[in-house]
Chain A
């Protein structure tokens, strides 16, 4: 079996963001980068598939500048077999249609039985790329999956709906799955596996070789929302903060 996992490198969401010079995206300098949270579940699920069947070859694909190779190495250390880096210095500003076209162009003649993506990326959050890739390839796709199993030819999955209700579905491979938080427990790479990952194949190709779509959107502005002045912000010494809070709770609530 062959599996493809699409992973994105995103900034740590607790970073102090700044707007870039053109006012269309965040400034990518001086940020700490990590694997998109949803994609960690995707990598884990593919690696578990290999542990289940033995003969599963797992490719991870990531579009972005050279720094994304660090994140790809984490996926290799988690157990993926090889990496395909699509080098694109402007990857962050590309929309879901362009990103999906790149992935579909790469995947179209590779015969992947299963493709895993995250349900959404934490920075862009379009929740589109996975479904678009499947539609471009003419494959069925199941989104927001929190429970996954595969017997080699059929996938049984549970989609998470509002209120925690789940829809149980079945689909034959080849298929694409978008992974939701909590689908499994993503492993931490062990030191020996980090060492082993250094020897794994990690190829880079230029984005021009794979990009086939044009964006249908223009970003007019990227900005911080106006702060809702609602919250009283308290800073200072911990003990005083606790006293102040108790005072506020006594005055404004009936709980103490």
Chain B
């Protein structure tokens, strides 16, 4: 099997997703080579051939140009598998490439079993094992599912590729994430509110428990999207990453994107009415209870200590 690894470079920096894709290719075995739109100044640590297109020329975000570059590289190397990360770069680009190659695309692969690909379904509550029927296959990998076993090393052998950089989409630049007003990364205890809190008024209950524990409060994305609290309190892949001594997930189901931001917590307690909520997979303790009843009692008992 010949594997094409699509690397990611943003603002001149190699993203970790690149090395996860390499780890996946190593796990599968077989020959691999890499493709990346990036810069000579920051090369990925990789022992092998790297088809490198210059981001300055082709544009760092230009899906049409990147698609053309990938198709060009595929026609030279004829890989059996093209590997992207299931990231804002990968899920944008992969379907464009897959359609052009008449390739089956498997999104958010978390495992390989019996030569078939395992992907999550229904908010990660279920799994599907899928087998492609096409000659060439495109996959996107869930962030964190395939981690490199050791520090990446190596010096790639560069094959330059270029293309016509014109495209319908004009990239006007990046906008930094909102500055964090509260540094959640420093908190020892974080009490985090999920959609399960039901309404904005219940944020006070979460804040009260956080105070009783001498910690900070935080939230999952739907709570922020609904305007129940500020974005600078969001934990997850598009929010902050935290690693407190205690993380209390209150009415949070445990999506991959949320867990990406809190899985380094030392001790995780989940409060959830759903015994099967995926948060149970990484929690140390899962309290099956209605948080509206449980939290006030817990807070009161903590205050009385």
Contacts and interface: CB of A to CB of B under 8 A. Distances in A.
Contacts of B131: 217-218, 220
Interface in B89-125: 91-92, 94-96, 98-100, 102-108, 114, 116, 119-125
Interface of B is mostly: mixed
B174 A233 contact: no
A144 B92 contact: yes
A158 B175 contact: yes
Interface stretch (B42-50, B150-158, B296-304): B296-304
A246 B302 contact: yes
A158 B104 CA distance: 29
- Of B15, B134, B178, B297, most buried by chain A (CB within 10 Å of CB) is B297
A239 interface: yes
A41 to B, nearest CB: 9
B116 A220 contact: yes
A219 B226 CA distance: 36
Interface stretch (A81-89, A202-210, A248-256): A248-256
Contacts of B167: 140
A28 interface: no
Given A131-B96, A162-B88, A216-B132, A255 B214 contact: yes
Interface in B57-110: 61, 63-64, 86-88, 91-92, 94-96, 98-100, 102-108
A255 B189 contact: yes
Nearest to A140: B168
A226 B143 CA distance: 20
Interface residues of A, number: 77
A109 interface: no
Contacts, number: 247
A227 interface: yes
Interface of A is mostly: mixed
B27 interface: no
A16 B107 CA distance: 24
Contact of B130 (A128, A140, A181, A217): A217
A51 to B, nearest CB: 20
Contact of B297 (A140, A164, A239, A252): A239
A125 B215 CA distance: 35
Given A171-B170, A231-B270, A252-B267, A225 B126 contact: yes
B197 interface: no
B173 A168 contact: yes
A11 B121 CA distance: 12
A136 interface: yes
B237 interface: yes
A21 interface: no
B305 A246 contact: yes
Interface residues of B, number: 96
A9 interface: no
A120 B96 CA distance: 16
B145 interface: no
A13 interface: yes
Given A17-B126, A217-B133, A219-B128, A181 B171 contact: no
B159 interface: no
A40 to B, nearest CB: 11
Interface in A171-186: 171-172, 175, 181-182, 185
B213 A230 contact: no
Contact of A245 (B64, B100, B285): B285
B224 A182 contact: yes
Nearest to B114: A220
A159 interface: yes
Given A17-B126, A162-B238, A136 B175 contact: no
Contact of B281 (A160, A175, A230, A246): A230
B298 A13 contact: no
A241 to B, nearest CB: 6
A123 interface: yes
B149 interface: no
Nearest to A215: B133
A11 B123 CA distance: 11
A143 B221 contact: no
Nearest to A216: B104
A45 interface: no
Interface stretch (B18-26, B198-206, B286-294): B286-294
The 10 A-B residue pairs with the shortest CB-CB distance in the complex, in nearest-first order: A164-B177, A216-B104, A182-B225, A140-B168, A131-B95, A166-B175, A168-B172, A221-B129, A228-B281, A231-B286
22 contacts: A11-B122, A125-B107, A127-B86, A132-B99, A135-B99, A135-B100, A136-B99, A159-B61, A163-B238, A164-B231, A167-B171, A167-B173, A185-B227, A215-B133, A217-B131, A220-B114, A222-B128, A231-B270, A231-B282, A238-B294, A245-B269, A253-B246
Given A165-B177, A217-B133, A230-B282, 15 more contacts: A97-B104, A125-B121, A144-B92, A158-B175, A162-B87, A162-B238, A164-B177, A168-B174, A169-B169, A169-B171, A218-B133, A225-B281, A233-B288, A254-B245, A256-B302
